[in-house]
Structure 1
Amino acid sequence: MRTLMLLFLGVTSTWATDYELLLEDPDILSPCSDGPPGSIDARQAANFDDFMINADADVLHVSGNVTLTWDVQPTDRIAARLELFHFNRGSWESTVFSMSSQDFCSIMYDKNQYWYKYWTGFITNRHEVEKKCITEPGVSSLHLPFDLRLKLMNFYGTTLRGRYKMVIVLNALDDQNMPRPNPICLEIRGEPIKLK
Protein backbone atom coordinates (compact mmCIF):
# COMPACT_ATOMS: atom_id res chain seq x y z
CA MET A 1 0.00 0.00 0.00
CA ARG A 2 2.82 2.40 0.89
CA THR A 3 4.52 1.74 -2.48
CA LEU A 4 1.27 2.39 -4.32
CA MET A 5 0.82 5.71 -2.49
CA LEU A 6 4.38 6.84 -3.33
CA LEU A 7 3.85 5.88 -6.98
CA PHE A 8 0.58 7.85 -7.07
CA LEU A 9 2.26 10.93 -5.55
CA GLY A 10 5.11 10.67 -8.07
CA VAL A 11 2.70 10.48 -11.01
CA THR A 12 0.47 13.34 -9.85
CA SER A 13 3.45 15.64 -9.31
CA THR A 14 4.42 15.27 -13.00
CA TRP A 15 1.07 16.40 -14.40
CA ALA A 16 1.06 19.72 -16.16
CA THR A 17 -0.26 22.78 -14.37
CA ASP A 18 -1.57 26.07 -15.73
CA TYR A 19 -0.74 29.37 -14.03
CA GLU A 20 -1.73 32.98 -14.45
CA LEU A 21 0.50 35.77 -13.20
CA LEU A 22 -1.21 38.20 -10.82
CA LEU A 23 0.74 41.40 -11.52
CA GLU A 24 2.13 43.68 -8.83
CA ASP A 25 2.21 46.60 -11.28
CA PRO A 26 -0.18 46.46 -14.27
CA ASP A 27 2.07 48.88 -16.21
CA ILE A 28 4.37 45.87 -16.99
CA LEU A 29 7.20 48.24 -17.96
CA SER A 30 8.81 48.51 -14.52
CA PRO A 31 12.49 49.48 -14.42
CA CYS A 32 14.83 46.75 -13.23
CA SER A 33 15.61 46.90 -9.53
CA ASP A 34 19.05 45.39 -10.13
CA GLY A 35 19.81 45.75 -13.84
CA PRO A 36 23.14 45.59 -15.65
CA PRO A 37 25.45 48.60 -15.19
CA GLY A 38 24.37 51.54 -17.37
CA SER A 39 21.01 49.96 -18.17
CA ILE A 40 17.98 52.07 -19.02
CA ASP A 41 14.32 51.22 -18.68
CA ALA A 42 11.82 50.82 -21.51
CA ARG A 43 10.47 54.35 -21.11
CA GLN A 44 13.99 55.74 -21.57
CA ALA A 45 14.46 53.67 -24.74
CA ALA A 46 11.16 54.52 -26.43
CA ASN A 47 8.37 57.07 -26.44
CA PHE A 48 5.21 55.52 -24.96
CA ASP A 49 3.05 58.69 -25.07
CA ASP A 50 0.69 57.06 -27.60
CA PHE A 51 0.69 53.61 -25.96
CA MET A 52 -1.89 52.54 -23.41
CA ILE A 53 -2.10 49.64 -20.97
CA ASN A 54 -5.36 49.40 -19.03
CA ALA A 55 -5.86 46.73 -16.38
CA ASP A 56 -9.27 45.11 -16.10
CA ALA A 57 -9.33 42.30 -13.52
CA ASP A 58 -6.95 39.65 -14.89
CA VAL A 59 -6.64 41.13 -18.41
CA LEU A 60 -4.44 43.93 -19.70
CA HIS A 61 -5.91 45.87 -22.63
CA VAL A 62 -3.02 47.08 -24.79
CA SER A 63 -3.13 49.49 -27.72
CA GLY A 64 -1.26 52.31 -29.42
CA ASN A 65 2.12 53.13 -30.86
CA VAL A 66 5.66 53.04 -29.50
CA THR A 67 8.46 55.07 -31.10
CA LEU A 68 12.05 53.99 -30.53
CA THR A 69 14.51 56.52 -29.09
CA TRP A 70 17.21 54.03 -28.02
CA ASP A 71 20.69 55.30 -28.90
CA VAL A 72 21.94 52.39 -31.02
CA GLN A 73 23.05 51.93 -34.61
CA PRO A 74 21.13 50.30 -37.51
CA THR A 75 23.99 47.80 -37.96
CA ASP A 76 23.87 46.63 -34.32
CA ARG A 77 22.80 43.11 -33.42
CA ILE A 78 20.30 42.80 -30.57
CA ALA A 79 20.77 40.08 -27.96
CA ALA A 80 17.71 39.38 -25.80
CA ARG A 81 17.48 37.50 -22.53
CA LEU A 82 14.55 36.67 -20.24
CA GLU A 83 15.16 35.19 -16.80
CA LEU A 84 12.74 34.19 -14.05
CA PHE A 85 13.60 34.92 -10.42
CA HIS A 86 11.87 33.80 -7.21
CA PHE A 87 11.69 35.94 -4.05
CA ASN A 88 12.88 33.81 -1.14
CA ARG A 89 13.73 34.97 2.38
CA GLY A 90 14.27 38.58 1.46
CA SER A 91 16.19 38.25 -1.80
CA TRP A 92 15.64 37.39 -5.47
CA GLU A 93 17.08 34.01 -6.45
CA SER A 94 17.66 32.68 -9.98
CA THR A 95 15.52 29.84 -11.20
CA VAL A 96 16.26 27.39 -14.00
CA PHE A 97 13.79 29.15 -16.30
CA SER A 98 15.28 31.42 -18.91
CA MET A 99 15.39 32.00 -22.64
CA SER A 100 17.71 34.00 -24.82
CA SER A 101 18.49 34.89 -28.39
CA GLN A 102 21.79 36.20 -29.68
CA ASP A 103 19.94 37.71 -32.66
CA PHE A 104 16.53 38.92 -31.51
CA CYS A 105 15.74 40.60 -34.84
CA SER A 106 15.93 37.26 -36.66
CA ILE A 107 13.29 35.64 -34.40
CA MET A 108 10.99 38.49 -33.42
CA TYR A 109 8.38 37.33 -35.97
CA ASP A 110 8.84 33.59 -35.46
CA LYS A 111 5.34 32.36 -34.54
CA ASN A 112 6.81 29.75 -32.18
CA GLN A 113 8.51 32.36 -29.99
CA TYR A 114 7.01 33.89 -26.86
CA TRP A 115 8.03 37.35 -28.12
CA TYR A 116 5.64 36.84 -31.05
CA LYS A 117 2.77 35.42 -29.00
CA TYR A 118 2.80 38.20 -26.43
CA TRP A 119 4.03 41.22 -28.41
CA THR A 120 5.28 41.31 -32.01
CA GLY A 121 2.34 39.35 -33.41
CA PHE A 122 0.18 42.42 -32.73
CA ILE A 123 2.37 44.93 -34.59
CA THR A 124 0.56 46.02 -37.78
CA ASN A 125 3.51 47.57 -39.65
CA ARG A 126 5.43 44.32 -39.55
CA HIS A 127 7.48 44.88 -42.75
CA GLU A 128 8.92 48.19 -41.54
CA VAL A 129 9.61 46.92 -38.01
CA GLU A 130 11.03 43.63 -39.26
CA LYS A 131 13.38 45.47 -41.63
CA LYS A 132 14.55 48.06 -39.08
CA CYS A 133 14.00 45.92 -35.97
CA ILE A 134 14.69 47.97 -32.84
CA THR A 135 18.00 49.40 -33.99
CA GLU A 136 16.87 52.61 -35.69
CA PRO A 137 15.71 55.51 -33.53
CA GLY A 138 12.44 56.90 -34.88
CA VAL A 139 10.95 53.60 -36.01
CA SER A 140 7.41 53.20 -34.66
CA SER A 141 5.60 49.99 -33.80
CA LEU A 142 1.89 50.31 -34.53
CA HIS A 143 -0.11 47.88 -32.40
CA LEU A 144 -3.54 46.44 -32.98
CA PRO A 145 -5.55 46.64 -29.75
CA PHE A 146 -5.08 43.33 -27.95
CA ASP A 147 -5.74 41.72 -24.59
CA LEU A 148 -2.86 40.27 -22.67
CA ARG A 149 -3.21 37.56 -20.07
CA LEU A 150 0.08 36.42 -18.63
CA LYS A 151 -0.46 32.68 -18.56
CA LEU A 152 1.92 29.77 -18.33
CA MET A 153 0.17 26.75 -19.82
CA ASN A 154 1.03 23.07 -19.38
CA PHE A 155 3.86 23.79 -16.95
CA TYR A 156 5.80 20.71 -15.83
CA GLY A 157 7.94 21.08 -12.74
CA THR A 158 7.77 22.08 -9.12
CA THR A 159 4.76 24.00 -7.89
CA LEU A 160 5.17 27.76 -8.26
CA ARG A 161 4.45 29.68 -5.04
CA GLY A 162 5.19 33.19 -3.83
CA ARG A 163 6.55 36.20 -5.69
CA TYR A 164 8.36 35.96 -9.01
CA LYS A 165 9.80 38.42 -11.48
CA MET A 166 10.68 38.14 -15.16
CA VAL A 167 13.69 40.24 -16.08
CA ILE A 168 14.07 41.12 -19.77
CA VAL A 169 17.38 42.56 -20.99
CA LEU A 170 18.06 43.77 -24.54
CA ASN A 171 21.69 44.43 -25.45
CA ALA A 172 22.86 46.12 -28.62
CA LEU A 173 26.21 44.81 -29.90
CA ASP A 174 28.27 46.69 -32.46
CA ASP A 175 29.96 45.18 -35.53
CA GLN A 176 32.93 44.17 -33.31
CA ASN A 177 30.54 42.29 -30.99
CA MET A 178 31.11 44.86 -28.24
CA PRO A 179 28.03 45.72 -26.17
CA ARG A 180 26.73 49.28 -26.23
CA PRO A 181 26.78 50.97 -22.79
CA ASN A 182 22.98 51.31 -22.51
CA PRO A 183 21.13 47.97 -22.44
CA ILE A 184 17.38 48.04 -21.91
CA CYS A 185 16.20 46.29 -18.75
CA LEU A 186 12.64 45.86 -17.54
CA GLU A 187 10.95 43.53 -15.12
CA ILE A 188 7.48 42.15 -14.62
CA ARG A 189 6.65 41.18 -11.04
CA GLY A 190 3.80 39.10 -9.75
CA GLU A 191 2.52 35.98 -8.10
CA PRO A 192 1.56 32.89 -10.11
CA ILE A 193 -1.95 31.65 -9.37
CA LYS A 194 -2.63 27.99 -10.10
CA LEU A 195 -5.52 27.56 -12.56
CA LYS A 196 -5.89 23.77 -12.59
Structure 2
Amino acid sequence: MIFVLLLLFGVTSSWATDYELLLEDPDIFSPCTEGPPGSINIHQAVNLDDIVVDQEGDILHVSGNATVVWDVQPTDRITARLDFFHFNRGNWEPTVFSMATQNFCSIMYDKNQYWYKYWTRFITNRHEVEKKCFRGPDTLLAHEPFDLRLKFENFRGPLLRGRHKIVVLFNALDERNIPRPNPICLEIRGEPLKLH
Protein backbone atom coordinates (compact mmCIF):
# COMPACT_ATOMS: atom_id res chain seq x y z
CA MET A 1 0.00 0.00 0.00
CA ILE A 2 2.79 2.44 0.92
CA PHE A 3 4.58 1.61 -2.34
CA VAL A 4 1.43 2.48 -4.34
CA LEU A 5 1.07 5.81 -2.51
CA LEU A 6 4.74 6.67 -3.11
CA LEU A 7 4.42 5.73 -6.78
CA LEU A 8 1.25 7.81 -7.12
CA PHE A 9 2.92 10.80 -5.42
CA GLY A 10 5.96 10.48 -7.71
CA VAL A 11 3.82 10.39 -10.84
CA THR A 12 1.54 13.28 -9.88
CA SER A 13 4.42 15.49 -8.74
CA SER A 14 6.25 14.93 -12.03
CA TRP A 15 3.39 16.15 -14.24
CA ALA A 16 3.96 19.53 -15.78
CA THR A 17 2.14 22.41 -14.13
CA ASP A 18 1.47 26.00 -15.22
CA TYR A 19 1.79 28.89 -12.77
CA GLU A 20 1.00 32.58 -12.85
CA LEU A 21 3.24 34.81 -10.74
CA LEU A 22 1.30 37.28 -8.59
CA LEU A 23 3.75 40.15 -8.05
CA GLU A 24 4.28 41.39 -4.52
CA ASP A 25 5.65 44.79 -5.55
CA PRO A 26 3.82 46.80 -8.23
CA ASP A 27 7.20 48.33 -9.22
CA ILE A 28 8.30 44.75 -10.11
CA PHE A 29 11.96 45.21 -9.06
CA SER A 30 12.85 45.37 -5.39
CA PRO A 31 16.27 46.02 -3.84
CA CYS A 32 18.02 42.86 -2.66
CA THR A 33 17.36 42.08 0.99
CA GLU A 34 20.65 40.17 1.31
CA GLY A 35 22.73 41.49 -1.57
CA PRO A 36 26.52 41.40 -1.70
CA PRO A 37 28.37 44.21 0.10
CA GLY A 38 28.43 47.37 -2.00
CA SER A 39 25.68 46.15 -4.34
CA ILE A 40 23.41 48.66 -6.02
CA ASN A 41 19.81 48.25 -7.07
CA ILE A 42 18.41 48.40 -10.59
CA HIS A 43 17.40 52.06 -10.23
CA GLN A 44 20.98 53.02 -9.34
CA ALA A 45 22.39 51.08 -12.31
CA VAL A 46 19.82 51.82 -15.02
CA ASN A 47 17.75 54.95 -15.66
CA LEU A 48 14.22 53.56 -16.12
CA ASP A 49 12.46 56.95 -16.36
CA ASP A 50 11.49 56.31 -20.00
CA ILE A 51 10.27 52.74 -19.46
CA VAL A 52 6.52 52.27 -19.20
CA VAL A 53 5.13 49.09 -17.64
CA ASP A 54 1.40 48.45 -17.47
CA GLN A 55 0.10 45.29 -15.84
CA GLU A 56 -3.04 43.61 -17.16
CA GLY A 57 -3.71 40.31 -15.41
CA ASP A 58 -0.71 38.04 -15.94
CA ILE A 59 0.75 40.23 -18.71
CA LEU A 60 3.16 43.14 -18.37
CA HIS A 61 3.03 45.56 -21.31
CA VAL A 62 6.54 47.05 -21.59
CA SER A 63 7.68 49.90 -23.82
CA GLY A 64 10.30 52.63 -23.90
CA ASN A 65 14.03 52.98 -23.47
CA ALA A 66 16.41 52.50 -20.56
CA THR A 67 19.88 53.96 -20.15
CA VAL A 68 22.63 52.07 -18.34
CA VAL A 69 24.47 54.32 -15.87
CA TRP A 70 26.40 51.52 -14.12
CA ASP A 71 29.93 52.73 -13.50
CA VAL A 72 32.11 49.95 -14.95
CA GLN A 73 34.81 49.87 -17.62
CA PRO A 74 34.44 49.01 -21.34
CA THR A 75 36.92 46.13 -20.94
CA ASP A 76 35.12 44.50 -17.98
CA ARG A 77 33.59 41.05 -18.25
CA ILE A 78 29.98 40.90 -17.03
CA THR A 79 28.74 37.83 -15.16
CA ALA A 80 25.08 37.15 -14.46
CA ARG A 81 23.31 34.85 -12.03
CA LEU A 82 19.64 34.15 -11.36
CA ASP A 83 18.49 32.21 -8.28
CA PHE A 84 14.99 31.18 -7.20
CA PHE A 85 14.17 31.24 -3.45
CA HIS A 86 11.22 30.11 -1.33
CA PHE A 87 10.14 31.85 1.89
CA ASN A 88 9.84 29.26 4.65
CA ARG A 89 9.34 29.93 8.37
CA GLY A 90 10.77 33.44 8.26
CA ASN A 91 13.77 32.69 6.02
CA TRP A 92 14.49 32.77 2.29
CA GLU A 93 15.68 29.29 1.33
CA PRO A 94 17.36 28.48 -1.99
CA THR A 95 15.64 26.10 -4.39
CA VAL A 96 17.24 23.92 -7.04
CA PHE A 97 16.38 26.45 -9.75
CA SER A 98 19.16 28.77 -10.88
CA MET A 99 21.16 29.77 -13.92
CA ALA A 100 24.43 31.59 -14.40
CA THR A 101 26.84 32.74 -17.06
CA GLN A 102 30.44 33.85 -16.71
CA ASN A 103 30.16 36.09 -19.79
CA PHE A 104 26.70 37.61 -20.14
CA CYS A 105 27.68 39.83 -23.07
CA SER A 106 28.58 36.81 -25.20
CA ILE A 107 25.20 35.09 -24.72
CA MET A 108 22.73 37.95 -24.37
CA TYR A 109 21.53 37.46 -27.97
CA ASP A 110 21.72 33.65 -27.99
CA LYS A 111 18.22 32.47 -28.96
CA ASN A 112 18.53 29.43 -26.67
CA GLN A 113 18.96 31.54 -23.53
CA TYR A 114 16.16 32.64 -21.19
CA TRP A 115 17.69 36.13 -21.10
CA TYR A 116 16.98 36.38 -24.83
CA LYS A 117 13.55 34.79 -24.73
CA TYR A 118 12.19 37.10 -22.03
CA TRP A 119 14.13 40.32 -22.58
CA THR A 120 17.07 40.99 -24.92
CA ARG A 121 15.30 39.95 -28.14
CA PHE A 122 13.14 43.07 -27.69
CA ILE A 123 16.14 45.44 -27.65
CA THR A 124 16.11 47.02 -31.11
CA ASN A 125 19.57 48.64 -31.18
CA ARG A 126 21.22 45.23 -31.04
CA HIS A 127 24.52 46.15 -32.75
CA GLU A 128 25.24 48.99 -30.32
CA VAL A 129 24.24 46.92 -27.29
CA GLU A 130 26.24 43.88 -28.43
CA LYS A 131 29.34 46.09 -28.70
CA LYS A 132 28.89 47.95 -25.40
CA CYS A 133 26.80 45.42 -23.46
CA PHE A 134 26.29 47.07 -20.05
CA ARG A 135 29.84 48.38 -19.91
CA GLY A 136 30.44 52.08 -19.75
CA PRO A 137 27.86 54.70 -18.91
CA ASP A 138 25.06 55.90 -21.15
CA THR A 139 24.41 52.68 -23.07
CA LEU A 140 20.90 53.00 -24.47
CA LEU A 141 18.63 49.96 -24.39
CA ALA A 142 15.92 50.78 -26.96
CA HIS A 143 12.98 48.41 -26.58
CA GLU A 144 10.23 47.68 -29.04
CA PRO A 145 6.90 47.39 -27.18
CA PHE A 146 6.48 43.84 -25.90
CA ASP A 147 4.34 41.77 -23.59
CA LEU A 148 5.88 39.74 -20.81
CA ARG A 149 3.69 36.97 -19.46
CA LEU A 150 4.11 36.29 -15.76
CA LYS A 151 3.74 32.57 -16.31
CA PHE A 152 5.86 29.51 -15.71
CA GLU A 153 4.59 27.08 -18.32
CA ASN A 154 5.13 23.35 -18.34
CA PHE A 155 6.91 23.53 -14.96
CA ARG A 156 8.21 20.14 -13.83
CA GLY A 157 9.14 19.77 -10.21
CA PRO A 158 7.65 20.04 -6.74
CA LEU A 159 4.51 22.11 -6.32
CA LEU A 160 5.22 25.80 -5.76
CA ARG A 161 3.42 27.27 -2.77
CA GLY A 162 3.81 30.49 -0.82
CA ARG A 163 6.13 33.43 -1.35
CA HIS A 164 9.04 33.13 -3.77
CA LYS A 165 11.62 35.51 -5.12
CA ILE A 166 13.95 35.63 -8.08
CA VAL A 167 17.32 37.23 -7.30
CA VAL A 168 19.34 38.54 -10.26
CA LEU A 169 22.98 39.54 -9.78
CA PHE A 170 25.26 41.19 -12.37
CA ASN A 171 28.97 41.51 -11.58
CA ALA A 172 31.67 43.34 -13.52
CA LEU A 173 35.17 41.85 -13.38
CA ASP A 174 38.25 43.76 -14.44
CA GLU A 175 41.03 42.44 -16.71
CA ARG A 176 42.58 40.56 -13.75
CA ASN A 177 39.17 38.96 -12.89
CA ILE A 178 38.79 41.09 -9.78
CA PRO A 179 35.13 42.04 -9.15
CA ARG A 180 34.20 45.70 -9.21
CA PRO A 181 32.82 46.97 -5.88
CA ASN A 182 29.33 47.78 -7.22
CA PRO A 183 27.45 44.66 -8.45
CA ILE A 184 23.83 45.07 -9.50
CA CYS A 185 21.39 43.09 -7.37
CA LEU A 186 17.62 43.02 -7.81
CA GLU A 187 14.70 40.89 -6.67
CA ILE A 188 11.33 40.08 -8.14
CA ARG A 189 9.01 38.81 -5.40
CA GLY A 190 5.67 37.13 -5.74
CA GLU A 191 3.50 34.11 -5.19
CA PRO A 192 3.09 31.44 -7.86
CA LEU A 193 -0.58 30.60 -8.40
CA LYS A 194 -1.23 27.14 -9.84
CA LEU A 195 -3.36 27.27 -12.96
CA HIS A 196 -5.83 24.48 -13.80
Code of the residue aligned with 1:52 in structure 2: it is V
**Would you identify which runs of 4 or more consecutive aligned residues in structure 1 move more than 6 Å?**
none
Could you tell me how far 1:49 is from its partner in structure 2? 1.2
1:51 pairs with 2:51: yes
What secondary structure sits across from 1:170 in the alignment? strand
Could you tell me how far 1:184 is from its partner in structure 2? 0.2
1:185 pairs with 2:180: no
1:125 pairs with 2:132: no
Q: Distance in 1 between matches of 2:44 and 2:122?
A: 22
Q: Deviations over 1:28-84 (max 9, x none)?
A: 221111111000001101111111111222211111001111000000000100001
| Partner of residue 15, structure 1 | 15
- What is the CA RMSD across the aligned residues, in angstroms? 1.4
Code of the residue aligned with 2:81 in structure 1: it is R
Q: Distance in 1 between matches of 2:81 and 2:40?
A: 15
CA gap of 1:3–1:126, structure 2 versus 1, over 3 A, is same
Q: Distance in 2 between matches of 1:66 and 1:19?
A: 29
Q: Distance in 2 between matches of 1:5 and 1:33?
A: 40
1:102 pairs with 2:88: no
Q: Distance in 1 between matches of 2:104 and 2:25?
A: 26
Identity of aligned residues (%): 70
Is the contact made by 1:83 and 1:167 (CA closer than 8 Å) also made in structure 2?
Answer: yes
Is the contact made by 1:26 and 1:60 (CA closer than 8 Å) also made in structure 2?
Answer: no
| Partner of residue 112, structure 1 | 112
Could you tell me how far 1:179 is from its partner in structure 2? 0.2
| Partner of residue 70, structure 1 | 70
Query: Which stretch has the larger CA shift, 90-99 or 175-184?
Result: 90-99
Q: Distance in 1 between matches of 2:94 and 2:140?
A: 34
| Partner of residue 79, structure 1 | 79
What secondary structure sits across from 1:153 in the alignment? strand
Query: Which stretch has the larger CA shift, 176-185 or 39-48?
Result: 39-48
Q: How many residues align?
A: 196
Q: Distance in 2 between matches of 1:6 and 1:183?
A: 45
Give unmatched runs, 5+ long, in structure 2.
none
Could you tell me how far 1:2 is from its partner in structure 2? 6.7
Q: Distance in 2 between matches of 1:8 and 1:174?
A: 52
Give unmatched runs, 5+ long, in structure 1.
none
CA gap of 1:26–1:59, structure 2 versus 1, over 3 A, is farther
CA gap of 1:73–1:17, structure 2 versus 1, over 3 A, is same
What secondary structure sits across from 1:162 in the alignment? coil
Could you tell me how far 1:159 is from its partner in structure 2? 0.5
Is the contact made by 2:58 and 2:151 (CA closer than 8 Å) also made in structure 1?
Answer: no
**TM-score, normalization by structure 1:** 0.95
What secondary structure sits across from 1:13 in the alignment? helix
Could you tell me how far 1:3 is from its partner in structure 2? 5.2
Q: Distance in 1 between matches of 2:6 and 2:48?
A: 53
Q: Distance in 2 between matches of 1:117 and 1:26?
A: 23
Is the contact made by 1:77 and 1:172 (CA closer than 8 Å) also made in structure 2?
Answer: yes
Could you tell me how far 1:10 is from its partner in structure 2? 2.7
Code of the residue aligned with 1:111 in structure 2: it is K
